[in-house]
Structure 1
Amino acid sequence: QGATSVKCLYRRDRANMPGSQREVQNAEEEGVVFEWLTAPKGFKGDSVTGVIVERMRLGLPDATGRQSPEVIEGSDYVEDADIVIKALGFEPEDLPTLWDQPELGVTRWGTVKAEFTTGATDMPGVYAVGDIVRGASLVVWAIRDGRDCATAILEQFNSAGVVAAE
């Protein structure tokens, strides 16, 4: 998508990550760099210019047998960033309340109601794709949904006579 680099911060090491190893490998093949044993702590700048990161170490195993991450005090550093995408958890946030947009439709599971083929919601000009529509799913589906949505938006602009750069 034109990014010069993409990094993924993760609080555990590769062996203790519960996610799909195939997805990690696919992401690495695409050029994603995983920063293991790191966790975002905050953001730098009024409009984000970086992520404040704290280094982690693995402590004793938890009830599942995975080693629990622990913060290494005083190890914070700043990871410069032009764009930050938060990917946290499996439960959707209450977006209509968070954004003070009660007209944004959600399902009984809290996911945003949107057309799967275009990402269009009931709110004009508002689109949603990926896990916030599908629920927890594979990143490849989110990428496909995003591409389909971008195509639909471009088609909408073009049909309205708006010139859009690709």
Structure 2
Amino acid sequence: PQIIENSDFDVDADLVIKALGFDPEDLPTLFDQPELGVSKWGTVHIDWKTMMTSAEGVFAAGDIVRGASLVVWGIRDGRDAAEQMDKYIQAEQRGETRAAG
């Protein structure tokens, strides 16, 4: 990359998601979720039935759960997680509770 002087700019955002690299991150600290369960490889523990992490209402899918894997698994995990999030939100709106994974 070539540095271009005076090319800095700011973008207002409601949410910024950090793209994680190949080295394990300290995810509980990074996401300010000390109860977040992680493996020795730095992947997030989830309940595979609900796709929920040990943090209530927080879901995870893809490489952050499996480690580096095939894109088709990431797509499938994302769809499964979206379906489970929808079920979770609907249950919450009905006043039902679900245990975290």
TM-score normalized by the length of structure 1? 0.44
* Corresponding position: 1:114 with 2:54: no
In structure 2, relative to structure 1, the CA distance for the partners of 1:78 and 1:122 (3 Å cut) is: closer
State the Cα deviation string for residues 61-110 of structure 1 (Å, max 9, x = none).
Answer: xxxxxxxx343334445678776544242223212123343221110111
Provide structure 1 residue ranges, at least 5 long, that are not aligned to the other structure.
1-68
* Corresponding position: 1:92 with 2:24: yes
User: 2:65 maps to which residue?
Assistant: 133
State the Cα deviation string for residues 101-122 of structure 1 (Å, max 9, x = none).
Answer: 3221110111111133532112
**Given that residues 92 and 132 in structure 1 are in contact (C-alpha distance below 8 angstroms), is that contact kept between their aligned partners in structure 2?**
no
**Given that residues 33 and 55 in structure 2 are in contact (C-alpha distance below 8 angstroms), is that contact kept between their aligned partners in structure 1?**
no
Provide structure 2 residue ranges, at least 5 long, that are not aligned to the other structure.
95-101
Larger radius of gyration: 1
Tell me the percent identity.
Answer: 61
User: 1:143 maps to which residue?
Assistant: 75
Report how far residue 161 of structure 1 moved.
5.1
In structure 2, relative to structure 1, the CA distance for the partners of 1:98 and 1:83 (3 Å cut) is: closer
User: 2:86 maps to which residue?
Assistant: 154
TM-align CA RMSD? 3.1
Q: How many residues align?
A: 95
Report how far residue 152 of structure 1 moved.
1.0
Q: Which has the higher contact order (CA 8 A, sep 6+)?
A: 2
TM-score normalized by the length of structure 2? 0.67
Report how far residue 147 of structure 1 moved.
1.8
Which has the larger share of helix?
2
Which has the larger share of strand?
1
